Amino acid sequence: MAGKRFFNDSTSDKDLPDDLRRKRPRVHEEVEQILTRCTRSMTRSQSLRIQALEQSNLQLVFLNNLSLPIFTGSKILGGDGNPLQILVVDRSNGDPMVPISLPHPTKIELVVLDGDFPPRDDTWTSEQFDSSIVKERTGKRPLLHGDLSVTLRGGTAVIGDIEFTDNSSWIRSRKFRIGARVVPGTSSQGLSVREAITEAFVVKDHRGEYYKVILFYWLHV
C-alpha cells in the first residue's frame, strides 16, 4: 500500500513543477495527432493498393502470330518458324510489347477458345473467357495436346510442342483460338493478369494436307 501511495503521489500533477504540468496536455495532443496521421496513412495506402489491383493493366500476350494453315497432328509454331512465346506486359506502357517481370514464377496454362470470342472487341471478363473454352468432342482425345502448362519467368515463357487432335469444322464458328491464362487457384500475390488470345484460325485434318501433297506430286511429275 505504501508503495502504491508513493507511486500515485509521485506521479500526481500536484507534485509536478508548473512547467511540466503545462507540457503534459501538449504531449498527449501530439501523441494523438501522430496516431491519427499514421492511421490515415495506413488507410490511404490500403485504399491505393486495392485501387491499383482493381485497375491492373497487366496482360498476357502472344509475342508471335501463328504459322498458318494449321493441321491436326502438326506442331504449332509462330509465323516466324519459332515456338510461340508468351509475355506479360503493362497495357498502360508506351511500348506494349516490353515484358514486365513479375515478383515470382507464375504458372500459365493453354486452352482452346471458340473462334467467335470475344464477341465484339478486345475487352472481356475472366468469366467470359472461361465460358468460351472449347472441350473435346465426346469420345475424342483432349482437343489440344502437348506442353499445355508453362512457367512465366522474367516476364516471358516459351511454349513447347503442342498440337490439335481434332479439326474445327464441328463448332459453329468453324474456328478456334488458343488462349493463355494464369492457372486458376495459383497464387499471384493479389495481381490481376488478363488472359491472352491468338488470332482466330481454322484447323484442318492432317489427311487434307496429305492429299494436297499427292495432288501436287501428280501435277508436277
At 213 the pLDDT is 52
pLDDT over threshold 50, residue 99: yes
**Joined grid coordinates for residue 91:** 497495357
Average pLDDT, the chain: 80
pLDDT over threshold 80, residue 148: yes
Which residue stretches of the chain are H helix? 2-10, 18-54, 126-131, 206-220
Residue with grid cell 485504399, as numbered in its chain: 47
At 209 the pLDDT is 58
CATH architecture of the domain with residue range 57-209: Sandwich (2.60)
Contacts of 143 (CB under 8 A, 6+ apart): 112, 134, 135, 136, 164, 165, 166
pLDDT single digits (tens) 203-220? 999 875 555 555 555 666
**119 vs 153, more confident:** 153
Quick one: 140 exposed, middle or buried, by C-beta within 10 A (0-12, 13-18, 19+)? exposed
Answer whether 197's CB lies under 8 Å from 113's CB: yes
pLDDT over threshold 80, residue 177: yes
Cis previous bond, 103, omega within 30 = no
Q: Report, as an integer, the average pLDDT of 3-28.
A: 53
Task: Give the range with max mean pLDDT: 12-26, 84-98, 151-165.
Answer: 151-165
Q: How many other CB atoms sit within 10 Å of the CB of residue 67?
A: 17
What are the structural domain ranges in the chain? 2-52, 57-209
Please state the length of the chain: 221
**Joined grid coordinates for residue 125:** 471478363
pLDDT single digits (tens) 26-52? 656 666 777 766 656 554 544 444 344
At 191 the pLDDT is 77
At 17 the pLDDT is 61
